[in-house]
Amino acid sequence: MDILKDKILSEGTALSESVLKVDNFLNHQIDPQLMHEIGAEFKKRFEGKGVTKILTLESSGIAPSVMAGLLMDVPVVFARKRQSLTLTDGLLTSEVYSYTKQETNQICVAHKFLEEDDTVLIIDDFLANGKAAEALIDLAEQAESNIAGIGIVIEKSFQEGGGLLRDRGHHVESLARIANLAEGKIEFVQEREN
């Protein structure tokens, strides 16, 4: 998606060989027009998949997901990072290990918002090692929902998540795929726009 790649090049910052900062338009300040275009692109890429619900993770997955949900006319559910370890009634829970934060978080979603007749599109802001996506898949599987696919705004293709998810047979669509990061340098995977 060219406008997203242009935005990453003009406003993103490679903090290191593994971390990209995009606070200007996705992770802190949000560019609504770009989110709208991202929503439209997800709609196009998952057309005909029978999506009934979008599942994402708070907080940075919410903006692109809401735009996709608006355009696809389906509700958006965001998994919460759990505060209370005791209130478990009606909750599906899973665990996410964060390499960037070096900690494990529990995430949860109310079972009533994910049902077995749902066909779920999972959306997240970044795909790195695949732990967040795997936890969202786990929640959808616990609910016995179908999984239409996984939509990612920015995939860091040099990390293992994309390969793992595709090897497991998931339909993964990433709107920008980064081949290489170095301090001050961002390179994309060369691919044909569709």
Binding annotation for 5-phospho-alpha-D-ribose 1-diphosphate:
128-132
CA distance 37 to 34: 5
Using CB under 6 A as the binding rule, whether residue 128 contacts ligand 5GP is answered as yes
Residue 64 makes CB contacts below 8 A (sequence gap 6+) with: 26, 35, 38, 39, 42, 56, 123, 125, 151, 153
Give the N- to C-terminal CA distance of the chain in Å, as an integer. Answer: 9
Smallest gap from Cβ 156 to ligand 5GP, in A, equals 6
Q: Please report, as residue ranges, which positions from 82 to 101 form the binding site for ligand 5GP (by CB under 6 A).
A: 98-100
- Of 83-91, 130-138, 167-175, 183-191, the window that binds ligand 5GP (rule: CB under 6 A) is 130-138
Q: Please report, as residue ranges, which positions from 3 to 62 form the binding site for ligand 5GP (by CB under 6 A).
A: 19-20, 22, 27, 57, 60
Using CB under 6 A as the binding rule, whether residue 157 contacts ligand 5GP is answered as no
CA distances from 158 to 28, 46, 168, 184 (A): 24, 24, 18, 17
Closest CA to 136 of 76, 78, 75, 177: 78
Three-state secondary-structure class, residue 177: strand
Using CB under 6 A as the binding rule, whether residue 132 contacts ligand 5GP is answered as yes
- Of 105-113, 114-122, 129-137, 165-173, the window that binds ligand 5GP (rule: CB under 6 A) is 129-137
- Binding-site residue numbers are 20, 27, 128-132, 156
Binding site for ligand 5GP (CB under 6 A): 19-20, 22, 27, 57, 60, 98-100, 124-133, 161
